[in-house]
A and B are shown apart, each in its own frame.
Chain A
């Protein structure tokens, strides 16, 4: 059994017990424990069930590479699935449950898949579930969904309680990894004067060195790490962030760092995670190495662990995975585990070393401790179910004959070490195969390059394939020096510290154990624990023609899911290479993509939640609208009142009331959101002639003109009223959603095409609050306020004037989007609310009625005015809408003119705008299609038009609509049928789109 031992445990505080719950059972650990070490201390070796076969699984690693020990962490609003027990620090009150089991972790029905394993081989889903088709939806998918998968999704109603934030940081040199290599690289670079930021994903600096031993400049690794930390923290140009993972390396030295601030102490105030958005001139990846499992039968039975993990649990957390541990290895490093176990008073019945010659100094040391060493040996298979029971020894050169059964309760395996090349590779760094170490390491000649073609990533220490302590330190110092040199820091040039550790004998690559293992053994030799991929699966994929490693990955699921194959990649591709009879470098690796380990969605969203999820633009009158019950409508980022329902009134009734009040007396609209772009310069008129389809340069100062804007492709993109302020200056109104877009459109043409034209633009939208005063009594209200002459003679339709009204400085435009007598009055934004209040007060005698966007829409539709976004959808040209009158025939050019001359644009069959009236007075559905004879090649009913705007007109008390119809303007009076799911289809008559006051008598008074 696994248990807490009385000695060791450098990272735990035995004076601080911590209680937590796993699958409902109360357990005890110590401050400093990870969830994995605490579970092992409680003899909870079984931590989950595998993805496909539901095999019992225990923890196999001790760091972020862990594939098995994934748990559901927390409850309710703090529930999170797929959290690695090995990188979860325990805290008082932590609750975790195991995943992918039913009904319980101990007794799982899905284990039946295990019995059927030989039918569930690579590509099984592809082959099996294709036929019969209906079976997929009703039989296969529900079964697979129930039996596969890892953690469960959070409750749909749960809401994350935590806060998150971003932080932008800039540095000369970013060091990712705080082991001795990272520390040394940081020291060298910082001493030379570079600005250095070091990120370490765990709470502790030093990496593996304190566990692996040796000396640095005569100091224990622990003492040297402390000294290095103190020096870095004292330097003004260096900073260390622990619990911060370098998640991804992107173009031009952009790096995401993932800081976990309160995961280990959830009751602490402040943000839970912080996403560091870092710009670094040079990046040093000191990300260490990951130990490889060995592929022998039963290598997934709980109790089989990486040799380094066994050592970590013992020395870091004072936890022994078992009383009797068999060590299986192809290299010297695993001997350290055997030595540590024996020194802690635990038993190591044997070390099975696959190398015929065995190892070097560490082997001698183990032998001196009385440990039995078998060379040329193999673990043929591990026996056990939910726990290791024994190891069957054979010879590595053989096919699996069992020579001896060694009883034990844990197995420590080591297949050698693979440099963590992920961050080197994220942005295009290439790898080279190091045959001596049987590992891919960074190819220095093919580093990721930045905008200037120069390399910006440097690997350091074990991540660069330097494994011996003295090589690690030298390599790390070189990396730091190179980085400093590249950023022009040429201060103190410090020598690398000397590292001392036993010399190691070379490893022998072992991709299968024993090398000739029979199929029965290969079917139980796991490559990918998380996805249940075995040696036999990869071999089958190769046999079926999946020669590319990327194809094999997808066919077998090797290296997918949350761990992205950190343990399985190299073993998997070595197995594939062997099956293809190819060299490993020829097979290559799959693509390393960020993030290194999963990061939270909350961190990505940052501060954007709740009130600041998205900017909501508010006009100066917003608070009044809010206080008067506005029913809101989002328009771009603005919130505009859709209507102002009174207490007990429906929104529909409010809209009706607003329309009638405006038509009959006086309405008021907050039009502040309309874009207002000032265009000035000697070439301003010429510029606007190009932007608008109609002629603007002939407009007289003091006058207004409605204009249309098209894209280069001829499609209508915006409209609005242009006012000429003086000879050189125009003010262009845009739609509410169009202000920023049209301003950018103007600047783009000015900056890229017509850079020699003398025109300046300013987007002054927010400088003004604008109010539309609309209705037969509009003039009376303004006259009551007084200050300027607003008579027909002084301020005619489509004119504007500056003046004062009620003491407010205003610019008044006589323009109308409703067909009524109408003024739009602009005042400085800070006076907007006061002006609005003054209008409301003075307008009481005419029952002044504020109206919202829906009343606005209805009134414009009654007049047959088009709305950008209703009548247009990016495929409509002005000619479709009968707006030919607004397209200048005289102008040589305007944006969109040539496009509108293309054959499809001049096709007489283009649908054209008409009005539509249902025969029964009801309202057509928005987007309804007009039905035509026959069906198309897909068997769908042919169409001959569609509805673009449709309303109930309170003024006319019937349904009115506009639509685009084939030959529409030539078919006045004809009745056609519309449907948007309606059955029977609705009959409507084609009419003029101007339903109300076609002569325009109401606005021209």
Chain B
């Protein structure tokens, strides 16, 4: 099932940043005490990462973990591996108090590329996007304009934005409007 039907069929936009709807991303929601040693160990075993600290991310190649709240993490892996990994993690946590749900189909993911990505996001999310405040390795679970969203930076010029699948078209409209070539703010140095 590598040919996943995306909400917008892989929409793209080129402006202040390049925007691309990414192909299927495996996502697993984990609810549990993120400091529970059994949970930390199980995640490490199945996803190869140590659960990140507050508002942080942890990646190991194609897998990763995003901090969502003190008792929620979003675990990432290839789309096709998601159900297996979810089942594996759930089995390992059978004796712990945790909830593991494969939510790979619940969301749309957009990649933003270009050095203006901070500005594009800062038009929509009430987040300090200055280079000293937000860096690769961090994640924000917040809102963008009128919908819930989360985003993180993979490197200095690449970010990923996640929203619910049903509002993918709205999010793409927001991002591309904000990335209009004529709408640069030039606020962030570097």
Contact = CB atoms under 8 A, between A and B. Distances in A.
Interface of A: 163, 165-170, 195, 236, 239, 268-271, 274, 277, 279, 606-608, 611-612, 614-620, 637-638, 678, 680-682, 729, 758, 760-762, 764-768, 828-834
B128 interface: yes
A167 B105 contact: no
Given A165-B183, A168-B126, A270-B183, A767 B166 contact: no
B182 A607 contact: no
A767 B103 CA distance: 5
B97 A167 contact: no
A681 B169 contact: no
A829 B167 CA distance: 13
12 contacts: A166-B123, A167-B119, A274-B185, A612-B170, A615-B146, A616-B167, A617-B166, A620-B7, A762-B99, A767-B106, A830-B6, A831-B5
B98 interface: yes
B146 A608 contact: yes
A808 to B, nearest CB: 11
B40 interface: no
Contact of B31 (A195, A682, A760): A760
Contacts of A268: 182
Given A607-B178, A829-B105, A236 B127 contact: no
B103 A762 contact: yes
B123 A165 contact: yes
Given A236-B189, A612-B177, A766-B106, A760 B98 contact: yes
Contacts of B147: 615
A637 B166 CA distance: 10
A110 B29 CA distance: 70
A204 B166 CA distance: 46
Given A611-B173, A617-B166, A830-B6, A764 B122 contact: no
A832 B166 CA distance: 12
B102 A767 contact: yes
Nearest to A680: B99
Interface in B150-168: 164-168
Given A168-B122, A170-B128, A766-B164, A271 B101 contact: no
Contacts of A170: 128, 130, 133
- Which 9 residue pairs spanning A and B have beta carbons closest together? A270-B182, A269-B182, A617-B166, A760-B31, A760-B99, A829-B105, A170-B128, A766-B106, A615-B170
Contacts of B11: none
Q: Is chain B's interface secondary structure helix, strand, loop, or mixed overall?
A: loop
B170 A830 contact: no
B71 to A, nearest CB: 8
B5 A830 contact: yes
B145 A169 contact: no
A167 B99 contact: no
A762 B6 CA distance: 22
A616 B170 contact: yes
A615 B167 contact: yes
A760 B101 CA distance: 11
A727 to B, nearest CB: 11
Contacts of B167: 615-618, 637
B187 interface: yes
Contact of A767 (B31, B101, B123, B130): B101
Nearest to B4: A830
A93 to B, nearest CB: 20
A607 B187 contact: no
Interface string B74-114: 00000000000000000000000111011111110000000
Indicate the size class of the contact surface on chain B: 35 or more
A828 B183 CA distance: 38
B145 to A, nearest CB: 6
Given A615-B146, A760-B32, 14 more contacts: A163-B180, A167-B122, A170-B130, A269-B182, A271-B182, A274-B185, A279-B128, A607-B124, A608-B145, A611-B173, A612-B174, A617-B167, A762-B103, A830-B105
B22 interface: no
B150 to A, nearest CB: 14
B105 A768 contact: yes
A764 B174 contact: no
B106 A167 contact: no
Nearest to B9: A623
Interface of B: 4-7, 24, 29, 31-32, 71, 97-99, 101-107, 119, 122-130, 133, 145-147, 164-170, 173-174, 177-178, 180-183, 185, 187, 189
A829 B106 contact: yes
Contacts of B180: 163, 270-271
Contact of B123 (A167, A615, A764): A167
A617 B170 CA distance: 8
Contact of A169 (B24, B98, B181, B187): B187
Contacts of B24: 830
A829 B164 CA distance: 11
B187 A766 contact: no
A831 B165 CA distance: 13
Given A612-B173, A761-B31, A830-B24, A165 B178 contact: yes
Q: Which of B104, B127, B177 has the most CB of A within 10 A?
A: B177
A764 B103 contact: yes
A140 to B, nearest CB: 44
B140 to A, nearest CB: 12
Contacts of A274: 185
A833 B167 CA distance: 16
Contact of B174 (A169, A279, A607): A607
A829 B123 contact: no
Contacts of B178: 165, 607
B165 A612 contact: no
A472 B145 CA distance: 41
B182 to A, nearest CB: 3
B74 to A, nearest CB: 11
Given A168-B129, A616-B169, A760-B32, A766 B123 contact: no
Given A169-B122, A678-B101, A618 B169 contact: yes
B129 A678 contact: no
A239 B187 contact: yes
B145 A607 contact: yes
Contacts of B125: 168
Given A168-B126, A170-B130, A766-B165, A681 B97 contact: yes
A614 B145 CA distance: 9
Contacts of A168: 122-123, 125-129
A766 B145 contact: no
A826 to B, nearest CB: 11
B33 to A, nearest CB: 10
B177 A762 contact: no
A612 B185 contact: no
B164 A760 contact: no
B170 to A, nearest CB: 4
B182 A764 contact: no
Given A170-B128, A618-B166, A830-B4, A767 B145 contact: no
Contacts of B32: 760
A680 B30 CA distance: 12
Contacts of B173: 611-612
Contacts of B103: 762, 764, 766-767
A764 B101 contact: yes
A345 B49 CA distance: 80
A274 B167 CA distance: 25
A730 to B, nearest CB: 11
Nearest to A623: B9
A670 B102 CA distance: 22
A167 B165 contact: no
A994 B123 CA distance: 53
Contact of A760 (B97, B122, B189): B97
A607 B123 contact: yes
